[in-house]
Chain A
Amino acid sequence: MQAAPSAPSAPSVTYNVLKRREAMIAYLFIAPTLVGFLLFVVGPMIIGIGISFFKWNLLTPPVFVGLDNYTRLFSGDPRLGTIYSTTVRLAIQVIICNIGFGLFFAVLLDRKMPNFLRNFFRLSYFFPFVVSGAAVAIIWTFLFNKDLGPLNYYLGLLGVNERINWLLSSDWSPIAIIITDVWKNVGFYILVFLGGLQGISRDFYEAAEVDGATGWQQFRSITVPLLTPTILFLLVISVIGALQIFDQPNILTGGGPGDATRTIVMYIYEQGFKFFDMGYASTLALSLFVIILILTVIQFRLSRSWVFYQ
């Protein structure tokens, strides 16, 4: 946060008037954002907390049930544990793959090469990012098809004789979702890493080369430490994003088989808009919010020990 410029030691009357005028204008400037924020962020949060104490199907009047939904959340929902662990496992794998591949390809791209080639690579990696998650998922439903899908066909050519049941088995369907997610998002990670890499002064590498450091040593002791702020940035957004995965599993697998690919947001959607249990859906949503909040705070706390600011 920017420190406010210190006020003059002896404020004059005009200065105060100006000050007040400026504040007025500032409030006007932030008013649209603030109104929208209250109406569509703060308001729903409060209403959501309220609904969590009711049983309500939207069609008949709500019934106050006290802490029933919370009891169910903490002890009465046999599916919730599986769903949260699925969500978290998917999230961790998606984050690791995106950050890992993102960094890998960014490092490969960050070297001397003809400009047209660099542009071509950047574009080809990035373009799926602008395609809608729904469209991406539909494309991959066909690619993953067990009998007719191109993926199994080419894997077959590579010697994988068993046709992989990408979308209908508990072992493979999470992998299918991860592949789809990485295909869609890795370009974004590559670009952000490229930005980070370009921010590292060449001097560091030149000095290291003089000292006889190998490429790997340079990567480990210069590139990675200096990229830690970028990594933190990506980590924070990807944790928030990955815990909310919805489009891909909803279209690819519908959460199945069983609950093998059902994420918490799908579950919220199911409880709310399929089973019309608005109270429990709200309770679930709050639990997700609390978890994301805690995780983000932890990340910032921990970051002090590993993020290196230049």
Chain B
Amino acid sequence: MFMKRITLLAFLAAVLLLVIAPLNAQDDISGEVKFIYWGSTVEQAAQWQTFVDLFNVEYPNVNVTLIGVPGDNWSGYLNGTATLIAGGEQPDLIWVATEGVRFLAGLGLLRPFDDLIERDAEELQEFFDDVEPALLDSFVVDGQTYMFPYSWNNMVVHINTARLAEAGLEMPPSDWTRDEFLDYAKALTVDADGDGTPEKYGFSIGYGGMFTMLPFVLANGTNVVSDDFCSPNVTDPKVIEALQFLHDLVYVHKVSPAPSNTMDVFEAFRNGDVAMFGAGRWPVGNMIANDFTDFDIQLWPGNPDQTTIFGVDGFGIFTTSQNPEAAWAWAKFMTGQIPQETLVGGPENPLSNIPARRSTAEMLSQFPPANYGMFYGSLQGNMVLVPSPARFNEMESIFVRYAGLIFADEMSVEDAMAAAELELDSVVSC
């Protein structure tokens, strides 16, 4: 299947080459470009290579070198990238998300786009019109634009509809509350032998990352850092209440297993061992690839704010780039229709993130979930950008470390967050 996908894309590229190349090829931009992406698998490399092939149709004289940097999460990827640069590599381009923009910009590694945007304003207008302002704004730091949104994710609740039917439940309404969510989670939890350990869980907190925990905090109308990312806010009673709720899902209501990095949540969800879990669109590819369609999504439950989190990724240009023109060409190219449509996927190519373009997001209707509109549509509601201070890596690591103690049921939420705040004080500051 994987080979088919590659052949298909290669074919697509070849067709484009024949049709577009003579008309559009820009020979004046040339040279080497080193591009860093997050990934370590053959498949990821192949996907980026198809983009390079498409890019080369328009810019035949630019030679793009792909450098895959592994990582367990965005932090790990950023660490790897920083080590790479510290080791003497001089990349031109990086695929990076909100979490890394301030980190890289703070080190003076990212080149602002502003002068280039001004120069090519006309050409870019169509893109700006097609993208939700919140996505564009997410890459503005201290008044300067560092990237264009390419793809993004929010957090919605994924629901196994087969399990829902089994329990005789309807899909929850879009304006559901946290209490209703808990009722669903309880109703979907099965402990047939009554030993106190459910065989099937109503919900899964996931692997214990910060992104997947924050929606409950945001729904409480608060956040773990101040709005300007300049000070920590984890001892806010509303933050503590949200984390206490997460803790109670595991230990009091027993509707979710404790977060664990050894659990394959996607597989558990497909099997029905987990009936609901929080994620963006990133699991959809996995579901489709496994011919699993019995699922739908719903907005994050409110308490009372129906706020959820979002994070955006795009392509940044390094200040040290020897070939900024070619890198800029790539950044613009990736805002185009064709790369955007690749995000939608195809029967053989179920990529999964939400495209930045509104028009492209409409094409998500080709695939489950039926409620696909909640992906892009959530931007109309309350959305908060993932907290991403310059030292995001350290902040996340501290937060996750104390969350681990909370989920091991070894430290009270108050104590854990009080201790976390002490450590965060020096990390989240301006």
| A contact set with B: CB distance below 8 Å | 57-60, 78, 141-142, 144-147, 161, 163, 165, 167-170, 254-259, 270, 273-276
Contact = CB atoms under 8 A, between A and B. Distances in A.
A275 B393 contact: yes
Interface stretch (B35-43, B130-138, B339-347, B403-411): B403-411
Contact of A147 (B86, B257, B401, B408): B257
A92 B86 CA distance: 37
17 contacts: A58-B83, A58-B86, A59-B82, A59-B86, A141-B262, A165-B408, A168-B260, A168-B407, A168-B408, A170-B408, A256-B401, A256-B405, A257-B404, A258-B410, A258-B411, A273-B79, A274-B75
A206 B237 CA distance: 75
Given A57-B107, A147-B257, A168-B260, A258 B401 contact: yes
Contacts of B394: 274-275
A274 B404 contact: no
A223 B312 CA distance: 67
B82 A276 contact: yes
A169 B109 contact: no
Contact of B258 (A59, A78, A168, A274): A168
Contacts of B408: 165, 168-170, 256-258
Contacts of A256: 401, 404-405, 408
Contacts of A142: 262
B397 interface: yes
Contacts of B85: 59
Contacts of A276: 79, 82, 86
B402 interface: yes
Nearest to A255: B401
A259 B423 CA distance: 14
A167 B207 CA distance: 13
Contacts of B391: 275
B83 A60 contact: no
B197 interface: yes
B260 A167 contact: yes
Given A145-B263, A170-B405, A258-B404, 13 more contacts: A58-B82, A59-B86, A59-B109, A78-B422, A145-B260, A147-B263, A165-B408, A167-B260, A167-B262, A168-B404, A256-B401, A259-B401, A276-B79
**Top-10 shortest CB links A-B:** A58-B86, A257-B404, A257-B408, A256-B404, A258-B405, A169-B408, A257-B405, A141-B262, A274-B79, A59-B107
Interface centre among A59, A167, A257 (most CB of B within 10 A): A257
Contact of A145 (B262, B404, B422): B262
Interface residue tally on B, bucketed by range: 20 to 34
Given A58-B82, A59-B109, A258-B411, A163 B197 contact: yes
Interface centre among B86, B402, B408, B410 (most CB of A within 10 A): B408
Contacts of A273: 79, 83
B262 A169 contact: no
Contacts of B75: 274
Nearest to A262: B401
Contacts of B263: 145, 147
Interface string B71-99: 00001000100110110000000000000
B118 interface: no
B86 A254 contact: no
Interface centre among B109, B262, B391, B401 (most CB of A within 10 A): B262
Interface string B397-430: 1000110110111110000000000110000000
B166 interface: no
Nearest to B85: A59
A165 B408 CA distance: 9
A141 B264 CA distance: 13
B126 interface: no
Contact of B107 (A60, A78, A145): A60
B108 interface: yes
Contacts of B125: none
A274 B394 CA distance: 8
B261 interface: yes
Contact of B410 (A145, A170, A254): A170
B122 interface: no
A72 B60 CA distance: 54
B129 interface: no
Contacts of A254: 261
A145 to B, nearest CB: 5
B228 interface: no
B170 interface: no
A303 to B, nearest CB: 40
A257 B86 contact: no
Contacts of A167: 260, 262
Contacts of A258: 401-402, 404-405, 408, 410-411
Contact of B195 (A58, A161, A257, A275): A161
B260 A60 contact: no
Contacts of B410: 169-170, 257-258
Contacts of B262: 141-142, 144-145, 167
A141 B263 CA distance: 10
Nearest to A144: B262
B245 to A, nearest CB: 19
Nearest to B406: A257
